[in-house]
Structure 1
Amino acid sequence: MTIPIRRFLEKVPGGMMLVPLGIGAVIHTVAPKAGDFFGSFTGAFFTGLVPILAVFYFCLGSTLEVTATPYMLKKGGALLGAKIGFAVLVGLIAGHFLHEAPIGSGIFAGLSALALVAALNDTNGGLYMSLMGQFGRKRDAGAYSILSFESGPFLTMVTLGIAGLSAFPWQALVGAILPLALGMLVGNLDKSMRALLAPLVPAMIPFLGLALGLTINLTAVLDAGLLGIALGLFVVFVGGAVLLLADKVTGGDGIAGLAAATTAGNAAIVPAVVAAANPVYAPAAQHATVLVAASVVVSAVLCPIVTVAWARRVQKKEQSTGKGDATAKGFLEPEQAAEPQS
């Protein structure tokens, strides 16, 4: 008996990523200690998102040609600038009306400038890379090496006006870029290595989705209520519109911009770090942590759906005009899409 698992996953928008992500999130929510219970390889996989990402970055880097580096700098710089600029604008507006404290009552109770900025300032790199590996241009995926500069609390503190309390974590930035850079080096030095590693990019997407889901607790959405859901919607749709425009301005098709409209999982720890650096934000930190955690879940679910819908629109437009490269965007079969360009 044959079950068409792959056909089903491909029919679901972003299914190769989203379905395993959902399975992982349900497992983590219902049985958060399952990894500890099974131990061994299973337990390691439950906490293995970072090493899986490292291998994914290396394999993806092997498919990127050195000649695309200036393009990655331009694309990554545009997306990073758009995210920072929009977060600064939102922070200035929210700070003018709310100051450092959260709203005390009403339907917006708990909302603060800290929650808004923390949710906007950090991109879910694993989700971005996976969506780019499946639907975007290969060289757009390399833009995350620039987007990684937003990781951690640094830019949130800058946006909130307390940058002097935090040192710039250059080691973490180098660590985020290094696997991709090494993959590029190997792939450009030896095209046979590129041919070996490139097919692993689409094959790893379901595993990446499952590992990412195993870090998400669905109760965060319930704890945060409608306000947490609204924050996630704001990040995906309003932030996504800004990033889509920035992508289009730099000659893109908008897919990379929408794929970057997420909140990273580690953004949930930013409010506590900011509050530790400046106690004036302590009253807002607890509420902000829950809201940002909800935004992580909501954006992780919605971003693939929105990105895939837009990618299909781009595909239809390019097919009707006879322009574009469907292979480079991952619209063909994974085996075909993974073939390196000569």
Structure 2
Amino acid sequence: MRIKQTIEKVPGGLMVVPLMLGALLNTLDQMHLPMLMDFLKYLGVAQTPEGNYEFLRIGGFSEALFKNGALVLIAMFLFCAGSQMNLRVGGTALKKGVLLTTSKYLTGLAIGLLFGYFFDPMHGLFGLSTMAIIAAMTNGNGGMYAALTSQYGNRSDVGAVAVLSLNDGPFFTLMSLGLLGAKFPVIAFIAVLLPIAIGMILGNLDPEIRAFLKAGEILPVPFFAFALGAGMNFANFFNPAVVAAGLTIGILTTVLTGLTGILVFKLFREKSFIAPVAEASTAGNAAATPAAIAAAAAVAAGSGMMSKAEAAGYESIAVLATAQISIAVLTTAILCPIAVIFVDKYQRRRGIDGTFEKEEKNPRVKKEQSIHAAK
């Protein structure tokens, strides 16, 4: 059976498919069908505090992993992702990585700021929140970027992924919400950053540790995705407003972050625009950001920096934002490659081959120049 290959045919499949499976099982749980509950009771499952019997609340390792394990698994993912942030990147790759990360972040922040100004920042148009917009627009799909730039881009485009790894996880979203007025204490930032920072230090001190932890960039994803889905209702994905919100975020991400990246590259005299368009996507792991932000809000409420009502507000929109971002992941996974192909064809018509570095010349161009000189 080719289960993994089938899942990977779905855009962002390792994140989206387990997420929806968890949501489906949780939906069945919440329906409290008598036949299923009688079967669980027969097996000896303990009642929930509400007096029901549920698949995902049977206790033991199963409940700890499949129902309650999201935050621990996300923390593990962040630790491993941090270990892959290579501080020893080439000058051109470093420059491109900084330009892409900065332009993508500022674009997401600006759109989130404008949205919060014109609409309710927690429950605005289509049920969108500033948190969902920033989380989706600032976190690019590193795997898709690497694949697209390896085919259509050049060496420094691919190398920029080392810097782009910085936008993995909830830190940029947390920082943005702080800039927009949310009162997160310093400890909330430390609590989010610490796993990433420790992983980054260890990965740069010892290449063997980096190699050992590399699998952790992928391995926890379907597990925390399932656990996140286990807190959702499958009906969320069929809510027209949620679908509209996810499509809106996805289109804005591909169009606006792509255009902003192109303008920044043009400002810094880069000829090929493959890299900024390849980064105009939403990463599957961005769907984990709302849960992490809700956890940070709980820390803020515990320290007295944020009221319990404010913290509860972030917790209340986490499930909805997760569904919206998941749809945005699917949307950008379709739009982003199409945009890259379009830009590549446009550039080639103008004599620009994105697979060559700026200082290199396409051999075909060199040959034409030699023939011209001979004449």
- Do both share a fold (TM > 0.5)? yes
Counterparts of 1:121-140 in structure 2, within 5 Å, are 121-123=134-136, 128=139, 131-133=141-143, 136=146, 138-139=161-162
1:14, 1:308 within 8 Å by CA — same for their partners in 2? no
Match of 1:323 in 2: 355
SS of the residue 2:17 aligns to: helix
Distance 2:253 2:243 in 1: 14
Counterparts of 1:91-106 in structure 2, within 5 Å, are 91-94=116-119
2:85, 2:166 within 8 Å by CA — same for their partners in 1? no
1:25, 1:214 within 8 Å by CA — same for their partners in 2? yes
2:22, 2:226 within 8 Å by CA — same for their partners in 1? yes
Highest Rg: 1 or 2? 2
Please state if 1:86 is matched with 2:111.
yes
- 1:317 CA displacement: 7.8
Match of 1:45 in 2: 66
TM-score by length of 2: 0.60
Distance 1:10 1:28 in 2: 23
The runs of 5 or more residues in structure 2 that have no matched partner are 31-53, 147-157, 266-274, 358-375
Letter in 2 for 1:51: V
2:84, 2:200 within 8 Å by CA — same for their partners in 1? yes
2:84, 2:214 within 8 Å by CA — same for their partners in 1? yes
Query: Are the structure 2 counterparts of residues 34 and 245 from structure 1 closer, same or farther at C-alpha, using a change threshold of 3 Å?
Result: farther
Distance 1:202 1:324 in 2: 30
1:190-214 CA-partner distances (Å, limit 9, x unpaired)? 1111221213323333324323322
Query: Are the structure 2 counterparts of residues 296 and 197 from structure 1 closer, same or farther at C-alpha, using a change threshold of 3 Å?
Result: closer
Distance 1:268 1:183 in 2: 23
Match of 1:117 in 2: 130
- 1:297 CA displacement: 1.0
Given candidates 256, 262, 267, the residue that maps to 1:242 is 256
SS of the residue 2:246 aligns to: helix
Match of 2:330 in 1: 304
Query: Are the structure 2 counterparts of residues 118 and 60 from structure 1 closer, same or farther at C-alpha, using a change threshold of 3 Å?
Result: closer
Given candidates 210, 217, 238, the residue that maps to 2:233 is 217
Match of 1:191 in 2: 207
SS of the residue 1:181 aligns to: helix
Match of 1:18 in 2: 16
SS of the residue 1:299 aligns to: helix
Query: Are the structure 2 counterparts of residues 322 and 122 from structure 1 closer, same or farther at C-alpha, using a change threshold of 3 Å?
Result: closer
1:259, 1:303 within 8 Å by CA — same for their partners in 2? yes
1:233, 1:299 within 8 Å by CA — same for their partners in 2? no
Distance 2:257 2:343 in 1: 20
Letter in 2 for 1:243: T
2:115, 2:130 within 8 Å by CA — same for their partners in 1? yes
- 1:299 CA displacement: 2.7
Given candidates 67, 79, 82, the residue that maps to 1:58 is 79
State the Cα RMSD in Å: 4.4
1:91, 1:113 within 8 Å by CA — same for their partners in 2? no
Query: Are the structure 2 counterparts of residues 52 and 64 from structure 1 closer, same or farther at C-alpha, using a change threshold of 3 Å?
Result: same
Percent identity, aligned pairs only? 20
The runs of 5 or more residues in structure 1 that have no matched partner are 103-109, 326-342
2:136, 2:325 within 8 Å by CA — same for their partners in 1? no
- 1:57 CA displacement: 1.6
Query: Are the structure 2 counterparts of residues 27 and 227 from structure 1 closer, same or farther at C-alpha, using a change threshold of 3 Å?
Result: same
Match of 1:232 in 2: 246
Match of 2:88 in 1: 67
Query: Are the structure 2 counterparts of residues 194 and 302 from structure 1 closer, same or farther at C-alpha, using a change threshold of 3 Å?
Result: same
Distance 1:66 1:12 in 2: 33
TM-score by length of 1: 0.65
Distance 1:28 1:173 in 2: 31
1:240, 1:260 within 8 Å by CA — same for their partners in 2? no
Distance 1:315 1:181 in 2: 36
- 1:143 CA displacement: 2.6
1:287-337 CA-partner distances (Å, limit 9, x unpaired)? xx67x7545313313413522552476489879957289xxxxxxxxxxxx
Counterparts of 1:255-334 in structure 2, within 5 Å, are 255-259=278-282, 264-266=289-291, 293-307=319-333, 310-311=336-337, 314=340, 323=355
- 1:23 CA displacement: 0.9
Give the number of equivalent residue pairs. Answer: 289
